[in-house]
Homo-oligomer: A and B are copies of this chain.
Amino acid sequence: MHDSEDVCLVFEGAAGQGIQTVTGMLLPVMKDNGFHVFSCTEYMSRIRGGSNTTEVRITTRPRAAYRSGIDLLFAMSRNALDRLEGRIRPGTLVFADRENLGANWHGNFIDIPLKRLSSEAGGGIFADTVIASAALGLLGVDSGQFSAFLKKRFTGKGPEVVSGNNRAAELGYAFIAGLSPGISIELPPPMASGGGKRLLMDGTSALGIGAVLAGCNFISSYPMSPGTGLLTFLSSRADDFGVVADQAEDEIAAINAGLGAAYAGARAVVTTSGGGFDLMQEGVSLCGMIETPIVIHIGQRPGPATGLPTRTEQGDLRLALNAGHGDFARAIFAPGSTAEIIEAMQRAFNLADRFQIPVFMLTDQYLLDAVCTIEASAVQNMPLEISIIETPVDYRRFEFTDDGLSPRGVPGHGSGIVRVDSDEHDEHGLITESFEMRRKMVEKRLTRMQALREVALPPAQIGSVEDADTLLICWGSNRGVVEEALDILGSDRIAGLHFTQVYPLNPASFPLLDNRRIVVIENNATGQFADLLSHETGIPVDRRILKSTGEPFSVEDVMDALMEETHE
């Protein structure tokens, strides 16, 4: 009925109903049992009510992709089924509280009397534990293990809480035990060895950890979903890591504060989403002019305008690529997995510092909210590159050099004077109106693109690129889904490429694309990376697989699209 090596659970409920608590119990327990887990979330733009879901996949090999087909669904809100119909298959087990669903009740559901069970446990707040234990019971996880987990988690909250949760867990397990034996989910036996070494991490945390490891010590930002998480992460760890964290009055203030701080020697980052980033563009342009490093995180969501604030899209690439008036250098990363986020963030800071440019990190709601197991060893701590000099007395901030990069001084460090100017300026940073100086400065600001191209990360190869005649090309958050689809497909004719750095592209990797059918998959309406790729390489894109509904690609979506490829 289901693939025992790959189980997909979905928990549905209204905002505020505690889905996150359920998965917050389920994921660590399954991880500790040595499984790979992956979880992703979709939710409405409201704080209470509506209908949200979290998907939890439990697999024997690493998977990091959204699956549409559900094995096991817990439906808590009244209108759950309106939205999830398409994801329910013949074998899907649907648990719901008949009392709650009322007229929406469907004969094939399994009635789990949640209300009654949780009030038996001590009240509505225990509903999540009832659900979690029911799910664990179905998955065959030992109830003793779960009660140990509950004890550890709730000890700090007092014996009442522990015992209430234990009662709830017992009720959940008992409920499952009372079901007919046909109702079950089979999993291989736990592989307790692997789990302990693994971490369970969401994308936002990975971004924050990456920033900390990169030596980031300044953030000024204005809240905007899904970019806010990085601000929260660094704010809450400000004291641990000596980070100055500030909530700005608006996005314009945020980037200008970031640039001011960077001018004075900070490793600065700002975080936002597309709409907020629109407002930062003049700041990006200033960054280009004053050659001051900054990292800009754009958590993408569907636009234009406010769009779908809590949904996902890869729609801000073109924006990052062209942000700010005038011609100057930049780089853009779009990591595809939790581990990659950590690494890319460090690269971003180092590159910004080395090349004195704005560097963009493009993520999206789906990637930021996704939680998965990663090996602790995958957390790479890269060497910090900080190139601030102590200024000599005759320091010139914009001294001409062969590579266009001038040694970077900061005010108060050394005996020189450090001037930056939004106007066209001379080597000293003083305003100029000389056409000749202008010509040289324009050139200076662009020369570094050459070196930037040369150090650009080549794409990761998925499958055997050498043998393939079709390349499925992705960037950012689609890595997991492409990996999985290609793995399932198992055809040598199709391989994948994932770009973690989307700009500039390293010309050394262009030959990879020669004489292949090029298929680009991305989560936007027009194919922004496809445009970039063919513009940069001169190689036309044969097919674009696009989705811009606000949902991520599912494994099934990609499989369907790939079937067309194999049948062509």
Contact = CB atoms under 8 A, between A and B. Distances in A.
B326 A307 contact: yes
A275 interface: yes
Contacts of A323: 278
A538 interface: yes
Given A288-B305, A305-B290, A422-B306, A325 B275 contact: yes
A443 B44 CA distance: 22
A229 interface: no
B279 A275 contact: no
Interface in A488-527: 524-526
A308 interface: yes
Contacts of A277: 325
A321 B531 CA distance: 13
Contacts of A288: 304-305
A529 B45 CA distance: 40
A185 to B, nearest CB: 28
Contacts of A285: 274-275, 278, 303-305
Interface residues of A, number: 62
Contacts of A535: 531, 534-535
B279 A303 contact: no
A550 interface: yes
A438 B302 contact: yes
Given A326-B274, A548-B327, A438 B282 contact: no
Interface string A412-423: 000000000011
Interface in A530-559: 531, 534-535, 538, 540, 548-551
Interface stretch (A66-74, A127-135, A311-319, A369-377): A311-319
A209 interface: no
A146 interface: no
Interface string A207-225: 0000000000000000000
A405 interface: no
A305 B326 contact: yes
- Among A252, A290, A435, A538, the one with the most B-chain Cβ atoms within 10 Å of its Cβ is A435
B326 A424 contact: no
A324 interface: yes
A81 interface: no
B315 A525 contact: no
A289 interface: yes
Nearest to A443: B525
Contact of A439 (B282, B306, B322, B548): B548
Given A307-B424, A423-B308, A550-B438, A278 B325 contact: yes
Contacts of A303: 285, 289, 324-327
B286 A282 contact: no
What are the 7 closest A-B residue pairs judged by CB atoms, nearest first? A303-B326, A304-B326, A274-B325, A289-B305, A278-B282, A278-B281, A322-B322
Interface of A: 44-45, 50, 252, 274-275, 277-279, 281-282, 284-286, 288-290, 302-309, 311, 315-316, 318-319, 321-328, 422-424, 433, 435-436, 438-439, 442-443, 445-446, 524-526, 531, 534-535, 538, 540, 548-551
Given A285-B305, A304-B325, 6 more contacts: A288-B305, A306-B423, A308-B423, A311-B433, A319-B322, A435-B551
